[in-house]
């Protein structure tokens, strides 16, 4: 696994490009965020400057301000975007810290391009980012296509899902039958 100190330095380096994000995180100075995907755990502390510092060793539950646990089964959801992955996460502690970290991370793709530009130059960095965006768009399109195809199959081909009008008609028929049964019971009671 990648050392926590290396991850903290990389995130801090990327955050150095966005003063607003660092100011947002600086409001949480001293708080810790733990991200777990069993058996791995990463604990980061927010510094006074709005950066991250690694917390080495196992942090106790009392030392962690916010804890986010992603089950291993949620890893494929990362391809669908952070919202899908966060829906499967178990969050404990201060949700405000997690919200502000999420807001701060929204500027990271631009910062990553700037850092990549320093290493390989502006043209290659731009092309690499365009390639990654195209790859993400391809994944999004594939996800949408699979979703639509699955929905059409369940509805039209396998007929496992009823249409709204059919369900409404069925409910009305059941209601009518219930009323008819009540009338029949009333007539039988009168005859008895």
Chain centre distance of CA 16: 25
pTM of full prediction above 0.85: no
Could you state, in order of their start, the residue ranges of all structural domains in the chain? 4-107, 121-174
Render each residue's pLDDT in the chain as its tens digit; 192 residues.
Answer: 567 888 888 888 888 888 888 898 899 999 988 888 877 888 889 999 888 888 876 666 667 888 888 877 776 666 566 666 677 778 888 888 888 888 887 767 777 777 778 778 888 878 877 877 776 677 677 778 887 888 788 777 777 777 788 889 999 999 999 999 999 999 999 988
Query: Look-up: residue for tokens 């942090």?
Result: 59
Do 139 and 81 form a contact (C-beta atoms < 8 A)? Answer: no
CATH number (3.30.1050.10, 3.20.20.10, 3.40.1010.10, 1.10.287.40) of 4-107 reads: 3.30.1050.10
Contact 53, 11 (CB under 8 A): no
> What is the C-alpha to C-alpha distance for residues 44 and 5, in angstroms, rounded to an integer?
9
DSSP bridge pairs for 41: 36
Strand residues in the chain grouped as ranges (E) = 32-37, 40-46, 52-54, 66-69, 90-93
């Amino acid at each position: 696994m990648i050392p926590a100190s290396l991850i903290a330095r990389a995130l801090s380096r990327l955050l150095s490009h966005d003063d607003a994000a660092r100011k947002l995180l600086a409001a949480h100075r001293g708080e810790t965020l733990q991200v777990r995907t069993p058996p791995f755990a990463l604990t980061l502390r927010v510094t006074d400057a709005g950066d991250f510092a690694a917390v080495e060793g196992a942090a106790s539950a009392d030392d962690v301000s916010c804890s986010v646990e992603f089950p291993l089964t949620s890893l494929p959801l990362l391809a669908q975007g952070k919202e899908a992955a966060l829906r499967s996460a178990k969050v404990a502690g201060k949700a405000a810290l997690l919200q502000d970290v999420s807001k701060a991370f929204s500027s990271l793709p631009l910062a990553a391009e700037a850092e990549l530009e320093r290493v390989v130059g502006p043209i290659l960095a731009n092309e690499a980012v365009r390639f990654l965006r195209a790859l993400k768009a391809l994944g999004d399109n594939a996800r949408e296509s699979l979703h639509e195809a699955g929905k059409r199959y369940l509805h039209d081909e396998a007929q496992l899902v009823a249409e709204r009008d059919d369900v409404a008609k069925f409910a009305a028929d059941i209601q009518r039958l219930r009323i008819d049964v009540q009338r029949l019971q009333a007539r039988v009671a009168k005859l008895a």
